[in-house]
Structure 1
Amino acid sequence: MAVHSLRKRLLVGNWKMHGSLQGNAQLLAELKQGAGSALACDLVVCAPYVYLSQLASCLKGSAIAIGAQDVSAHAQGAYTGEVSASMLADIQCAWVIVGHSERRQYHAESNQLVAAKLRQALDAGLKPILCVGETQQEHEAGVTHSVIIEQLRCVLDWPLSDLQKICVAYEPVWAIGTGLSATPDQAQEVHALIRAQWPDSIAHTLHILYGGSVKPDNAADLFAMPDIDGALVGGASLHAHDFLHIAAA
């Protein structure tokens, strides 16, 4: 059985391809002010690469951590347009999203490529958030469990010291940006499946986030589930009031 008390809740905002210097400054100021009171969760903001230095400056001295939305599978070299894990660490980035469904769908990222990116993130001291999830077609075909296990398989034989540093986010693709959301019971079932894949000795420490149209009005019901340790939030993270309301849940 999951023991929430061993895992502090984690709320990660994914801005996706949104933002501007002026708009970011206002949003970050509101988040910094709102996070001043002791929340029962850790907060992370994942922004486009070009704004990460702005985040580092605006959030300096706050408890809000900074994350990137992707990372290269290579350490360095002739890879135009790529950003390495060491570069992210160099600008005070602490977290990175790996294998988001939009990367898998639009950029044909395979499980093997996602694993290579995870390896780079860990080697650079970043905390990776490994995203897994099924499409609507897979959901309707009843193969959710096999899809999730296959997406996790490429890292499950890694040393415990690596697995302890990975956070997993379950994001049913059919619920991302659609307004649809898995019911708390549906999400809990998959979160429990994910935890069961982790080695018994560290499974209770694994943070598993739910991502898929998380909003202030459904957050509390999701977080009440024993294996849901927080959320990977998309659209609602672009509004300070909504993001902080989810954090308060």
Structure 2
Amino acid sequence: MKKIIIFNWKMYPSSLKEAKELFNSILKQIKNLEIVVAAPFIYLSEFVGLINKTKIKLGAQDVFYKDEGAYTGEISPTMLKNLGVEYIIIGHSERRKYLDETDEMINKKVSAALKTGLKVVLCVGEPTRARARELRIKNAELRKAKIYVKKQLKKDLENSKSLILNSKLRNQLVIAYEPVWAIGTGNPCCPKDALKMIKFIKKFLSVKCQVSSVKVLYGGSVDSKNIKNFVKYSEIDGALVGGASLKIKEVKKIIKIIK
């Protein structure tokens, strides 16, 4: 199965010149991979004209749950769809942490984005460090992490169950498992533990939402040194890459490894 790689640029780079340089470096490497570049809003319109006849897809890092209205500073699903954006990252742990984004808000955003025809990358993951450095997660801790993620999925997809059952929409949902303790720390989750959690997520979605085809990615300190250890498993459908996606040399290495 073809892997999905999502480069989440977060609030970088600081200039359009740097953004174009980084984007062009990705363009030169693309062949048969499905690469999603989730750039800051202000750069998306600049990239639309550059992706014709390439495998690159544009992604946004957030969206509002209304199509229009007096919501200062917000951007609607329809605006992004009309611009040429295909993917939306929703519920990233940094938005949950720094912007107090709740499961209720995320639930509304997921539903609105799916209805608009956008592909949703829903981020879930336990917030506390579940293992000591270089050690495998203990079974008891894994059970606690599964309970936490299960609650997130239930709340975040509450309004979207009927949408996911629609054969036309079920392929629009992607889950990114990102244990919060691994993000930006340089200490990724043990690949075997990530595999266990991703299998659990897929089983839950299959039973709860009657959908067995949802792709689940891993995110959390992914770089060129460790990405192969995650994507070698057929159950892990790709990776959500953060900091490493801002370094041209890292981007080239990651794409070379995946393809």
When the two structures are superposed, what TM-score results if normalisation uses the length of structure 1? 0.90
1:220 is matched with which residue?
228
When the two structures are superposed, what TM-score results if normalisation uses the length of structure 2? 0.87
2:190 is matched with which residue?
183
**What whole-Å deviation, never above 9, does each CA across 1:6-38 have from its counterpart, x for those lacking one?**
xx2100000000022101111111111111xx3
Q: What is the distance in 2 between the residues matched to 1:51 and 1:230?
A: 24
Secondary structure at the counterpart of residue 226 of structure 2: helix
Q: What is the distance in 2 between the residues matched to 1:164 and 1:113?
A: 22
* 1:28 corresponds to which of 23, 30, 38: 23
* 2:178 corresponds to which of 171, 174, 185: 171
Q: 1:55 Cα deviation (Å)? A: 1.6
Asked if the contact 1:28–1:58 (Cα under 8 Å) also holds between the matched residues in 2, the reply is no
Secondary structure at the counterpart of residue 122 of structure 2: strand
For residues 1-249 of structure 1, the aligned pairs below 5 Å read 5=1, 8-19=2-13, 20-35=15-30, 38-39=31-32, 41-136=33-128, 139=130, 142=141, 143-154=144-155, 155=157, 158-159=161-162, 160-161=165-166, 162-199=169-206, 202-203=211-212, 205-247=213-255, 248-249=257-258
Give the AA of the match of 1:15.
Answer: W
Structure 2 gap ranges (5+)? 132-139
Asked if the contact 1:164–1:202 (Cα under 8 Å) also holds between the matched residues in 2, the reply is no
Secondary structure at the counterpart of residue 93 of structure 1: coil
Give the AA of the match of 2:147.
Answer: S
Asked if the contact 1:219–1:246 (Cα under 8 Å) also holds between the matched residues in 2, the reply is yes
Asked if the contact 1:98–1:130 (Cα under 8 Å) also holds between the matched residues in 2, the reply is yes
Give the AA of the match of 1:62.
Answer: T
**What whole-Å deviation, never above 9, does each CA across 1:108-131 have from its counterpart, x for those lacking one?**
111121110011111111101000
Q: 1:136 Cα deviation (Å)? A: 1.9
Q: CA RMSD in A?
A: 1.7
Secondary structure at the counterpart of residue 176 of structure 2: strand
For structure 1, which segment, 158-167 or 24-33, has the greater mean C-alpha deviation from structure 2 after superposition? Answer: 158-167
Q: What is the distance in 2 between the residues matched to 1:34 and 1:164?
A: 26
For structure 1, which segment, 170-179 or 225-234, has the greater mean C-alpha deviation from structure 2 after superposition? Answer: 225-234
Secondary structure at the counterpart of residue 96 of structure 2: helix
Q: What is the distance in 2 between the residues matched to 1:167 and 1:196?
A: 14
Give the AA of the match of 1:184.
Answer: P
For structure 1, which segment, 117-126 or 162-171, has the greater mean C-alpha deviation from structure 2 after superposition? Answer: 162-171
